[in-house]
Amino acid sequence: MSIQMDILRVLEGTSRTFALPIMRLPGKLRDTISVAYLCMRALDEIEDDVSMENQTKASLLRKISVTMQAHSFSGLNSNFKDLEALLAPYESKLPEVTLRLGEWLSNSPSDIAPRIIDASSSIADRMAYWAERNWLIQNEADLNGYTFSVAGAVGLLLCDIWTWFDGTQLNRVSAVQFGRGLQSVNILRNREEDMQRKVDFFPVGWTTKEMSAYARKLLDSVKLNLKSMPGNAFESLVKIPFYLAEATLDVIEKGQKKLSREQVLSIIGQK
């Protein structure tokens, strides 16, 4: 199996929301966004791991960040091997997508790799910060900070990758709002599981009503700008995740926990 096919295999195994949209992209753009997505997912898996103490997560994430920053950008070198060595002790705890982080980075096109490494390093540092404070979110400003750290910043990376690919300029404010909107819907969808592991992403005093309003405001703002978005970007990457998030928010506001598999497949089929 080629590395490109293997990347797509791991992508399909880690995301039901983004795998199909990414796979619809033109070849070089598809391969690059696949690598970027897997890097972000690799870090997510550390943040979400239930078997590690928060301080252990923070320490590992910061070491990953420092290792990335030490990359020389002078061709193949030992830095990505250093990532493999750093993650090796966690082989029994962390999934394949995380253990192969260095491999994903090594398959980034050389002229966009510095941006992917920069984004991955920064997000790892931010995740470490939130792990150390046990994701304590006291107010809406904290929530804005967290959703930017792990999702809004990813939207900015995707803007940069698309511009690198063909010069397309995407609306960066909408990209941040899109990331924040998707993340806030995920917070609502995963509320029960998060509370079981004693993590509360809701600002103090907020209920599902306030969090839903926060997510709705973000998604509505993105929706206003969809008509001005380049058609290829909307059709290929944004459409399915956006409408899945919007439909998920609709059912949560009606008292359901999440979309059924049949509802998900129906939305994907229609889009």
At 1 the pLDDT is: 66
Residues 46 and 156 both lie in one domain: no
**Structurally, how many domains does the chain consist of?**
2
At 241 the pLDDT is: 92
Is residue 119 situated within a structural domain? no
At 252 the pLDDT is: 93
| pLDDT tens, N- to C-terminus, the chain (271 residues) | 688 889 989 999 998 778 889 998 998 999 999 999 999 999 999 999 999 999 999 999 999 999 999 988 876 555 788 999 999 999 999 999 999 999 999 999 999 999 999 999 999 999 999 999 999 999 999 999 999 999 999 999 999 999 999 999 999 999 999 999 999 999 999 999 999 999 999 999 999 999 999 999 999 999 998 888 888 888 888 889 999 999 999 999 998 877 877 887 787 766 5
Residues 157 and 247 both lie in one domain: yes
Concatenated DSSP letters of 126-169: HHHHHHHTTT---SHHHHHHHHIIIIIHHHHHHHHHHHHHH-PP
Residues 73 and 188 both lie in one domain: no
User: Which SS3 state, helix, strand or coil, does residue 68 take?
Assistant: helix
Is residue 270 situated within a structural domain? yes
Residues 70 and 147 both lie in one domain: no
At 2 the pLDDT is: 84
Is residue 120 situated within a structural domain? no
Residues 104 and 150 both lie in one domain: no
Is residue 124 situated within a structural domain? no
Name the pTM for this structure.
0.92
Residues 148 and 271 both lie in one domain: yes
Write out the residue range of the structural domain in which residue 211 sits. 135-271
Residues 248 and 141 both lie in one domain: yes
User: What is the domain-level CATH number for residue 140?
Assistant: 1.10.600.10
Residues 27 and 85 both lie in one domain: yes
Residues 146 and 268 both lie in one domain: yes
Q: What are phi and psi of 110, to 5 degrees?
A: -60, -30
Chain-centre distance of CA 56, in angstroms?
A: 21
Question: Helices 54-69 and 113-132: crossing angle, nearest 10°?
Answer: 160
Is residue 117 situated within a structural domain? no
At 24 the pLDDT is: 87
